[in-house]
Chain A
Amino acid sequence: MELAIHAEGLRKRYGDFEALRGLSLSVPAGQVLGVLGPNGAGKTTTVRILSTLLTPDAGFARVAGFDVVKQRKDVQRAIGLTGQYAAVDEQLSGRENLVMIGMLQRFSRKQAKLRADELLHQFDLVEAGTRPSGKYSGGMRRRLDLAASLINQPSVLFLDEPTTGLDPASRQTLWAIIRKQVAAGVTCLLTTQYLEEADQLADRIVVVDKGQIIAEGTADQLKDQVGGARLDVTVGDPAQQTMAAHTLSGVTAAQPTLAEDGRGVSVQLTRGMTDVAEAAVALQRSGIPVVDFAVRRPSLDDVFLSLTGQNRASDEQSAAAPERSPA
């Protein structure tokens, strides 16, 4: 299988802070890799190295077949980058922004204008195209930013938290655009804190924490990794939360956990429907009024919290990881 992105043993240190500690990842051509991780995990540093903005201290990476350190210009011609900020020149109109980036991507002025108009049309920005982009809404600015990163029809697209700060409708629009690129064969590396986003867009997911990959797989595989389905019970009276938990612990192998809202109890199901049936009977016998009783698959949130939580517990000293990588 041809790899569009291949990184091996990436290390990067900022002063005392080790942003990346030997991170390796690979993305086959045409696939979407979701990179999940808390703030300061090294997601942005990874994207910056792969998009030639930052030189790694150790390790190597190839993007679209080119070395990100030794063949930077070739990499730059092949990639599109949408960073955490909608990087548009606010004083220029949407069209002027695209023409400028087009020319810097080595299009002639004429070609750049044609491509700009094509993208404005595609991203529903034709009317806004002549207005200064500083007057755009957050969603429009993001669309313009994404359009700018697609000018050169990149074969590899880096999206660093592309929908941070967007309203749900704009997020959906952006997702649709990204899916369209993927359908056209573009390889994507997407970092996000929204697990739903990774679930929606990514073929495979890696979970990054403290500069290393701590889990890897499809969304389903990761969900299975934290255990199968869970039973969520909600009691009507908070005073009965512990009693419900006690009742459940009598029938399930796993230890129930109490939700912080004071009314929920959650337990992992190890014997599937048998657990569900016995739990229902036991609760009914105990006479505790239950307002909600639901079986659900673990969400990526569970995966994320369970994995990064374990990692935290195993290394208490560096609990105060910086919010963002200082660069």
Chain B
Amino acid sequence: MSTAVVDGVVCVERHLRHLIRTPGKLVNAVLLPMIFALLFGLLFGSVIEVPNGGYEEFIMAGIFVQGVMTAVPNSAVGAVEDLRNGLIDRFRSLPMSNSAVLIGRTVGDMVLRALSCVAMAGVGLAIGWRVHTSFLEVAAGFALLLFFGFTVAWVGALIGLSVGNAETAASVPSVLLMPVMFLSNAFIPLTGLPDWLRVVAEWNPLSAIVGACRELWGNPSASNSGSFPTENPVLLSVVWMVAILAVVAPLAVRKYQTAAAG
């Protein structure tokens, strides 16, 4: 096996061990999205109307995406911890691949996201969410979600290595992402928005990934404006994520290479 692969495997293994050792993380990643699914589904379901379909069917893609976004603060705080206690210094003094530590973090995190998706799907099914497409399309939707989780975990790693402080690493993502989340189609249909706001929301990367899941699962969509983003959410979401990764991952690796404890 090439050294980069061995390094990657060793680092992923490290994070899987963390998963087993820290039940608190599991609670945060699994229980919290379940609660969200329940609350949003039941609460908003009774007040928000969605064209062509029930709100439960509509909201779940948004809930999934929001749940997967926990990867950002999670990986940001983890990166800060590695930095603070000198582990990154240790890793950087070893003859290992430069990206392995961050790959370990982001790939390892996908396992947590997968568990979290299973839990959210359980709640979704219980409150009346259904999929209406082939097995392959449904699976493609979940694969896309995990790829999204991988992408935003890199964003989290970059934030963590840049701010270098656990409190900031935990709060910056929510400050940055909250508006992006609500300015998307995740929780509300976009049909009622003023035109300019609708266009912004439609091109929002989060809207793309949420829209892609809805399309792949046969759930009601948020807009029938016929615009490019609403007609091609799968394509757009893949383009967005590849673009974000192409920018963020090299930046994060560069931060890692010059990172210093203390």
Contact = CB atoms under 8 A, between A and B. Distances in A.
B90 A81 contact: yes
B95 A87 contact: no
Q: Which of B90, B260, B261 has the most CB of A within 10 A?
A: B90
Interface stretch (A90-98, A164-172, A185-193, A269-277): A90-98
Contact of A91 (B6, B7, B22, B90): B22
B254 interface: no
Contact of B260 (A54, A76, A90): A54
Contact of A324 (B21, B89, B90, B262): B262
A76 B86 contact: no
Contact of A103 (B6, B85, B87, B261): B6
B21 A81 contact: no
A88 B100 CA distance: 17
A48 B17 contact: no
Query: In the complex, which range does the number of interface residues on chain B fall in?
Result: 20 to 34
B132 interface: no
Interface string B13-32: 11001100110000000000
B52 interface: no
Given A77-B95, A104-B96, A87 B14 contact: no
Contacts of B84: 85
Given A87-B90, A327-B262, A76 B95 contact: yes
Contacts of B93: 51-53, 76, 79, 81
Contacts, number: 80
Nearest to A108: B6
A132 B14 CA distance: 13
Given A101-B94, A104-B10, A92 B260 contact: no
A73 interface: yes
A312 interface: no
A83 B86 CA distance: 7
B1 to A, nearest CB: 10
B262 A84 contact: yes
B92 interface: yes
B101 to A, nearest CB: 9
A96 B17 contact: yes
A127 to B, nearest CB: 19
Interface in A38-84: 44, 48, 51-54, 73-74, 76-77, 79, 81, 83-84
A148 interface: yes
A101 B7 CA distance: 10
A106 interface: yes
Interface string A232-267: 000000000000000000000000000000000000
A100 interface: yes
A29 to B, nearest CB: 20
Contacts of A105: 94-95
A86 interface: yes
A51 B93 CA distance: 6
A240 to B, nearest CB: 48
A81 B89 contact: yes
B24 to A, nearest CB: 11
A212 B202 CA distance: 59
Given A148-B90, A324-B262, A87 B85 contact: yes
Contacts of A88: 85, 87
A225 B100 CA distance: 50
Nearest to B82: A89
B91 A104 contact: yes
Interface SS, B side:
helix
A92 B104 CA distance: 15
A53 B92 contact: yes
A89 B7 CA distance: 16
B262 A91 contact: no
Contact of A85 (B18, B91, B100, B261): B261
B3 interface: yes
Interface centre among A52, A73, A91, A106 (most CB of B within 10 A): A91
Which of B10, B13, B91: most chain A CB closer than 10 A? B10
Contact of B90 (A83, A92, A132): A83
Given A86-B86, A104-B7, A104-B91, A327 B17 contact: no
Interface in B68-101: 84-87, 89-96, 100
A86 B96 CA distance: 20
Nearest to B93: A81
Nearest to A53: B92
A85 B18 CA distance: 20
Contact of B17 (A51, A52, A91, A101): A91
A237 B18 CA distance: 63
Nearest to B262: A324
Closest 10 CB pairs of A and B: A85-B86, A87-B86, A327-B260, A87-B90, A76-B95, A81-B93, A73-B95, A104-B96, A91-B21, A104-B94
13 contacts: A48-B260, A53-B260, A74-B95, A77-B95, A84-B261, A87-B86, A87-B89, A96-B17, A101-B94, A105-B94, A105-B95, A149-B90, A327-B260
Given A88-B87, A104-B95, A132-B21, 20 more contacts: A44-B262, A53-B92, A73-B95, A77-B95, A79-B93, A83-B89, A84-B86, A85-B84, A85-B86, A85-B89, A85-B261, A87-B261, A89-B87, A91-B17, A91-B22, A92-B18, A103-B10, A104-B96, A149-B90, A327-B260
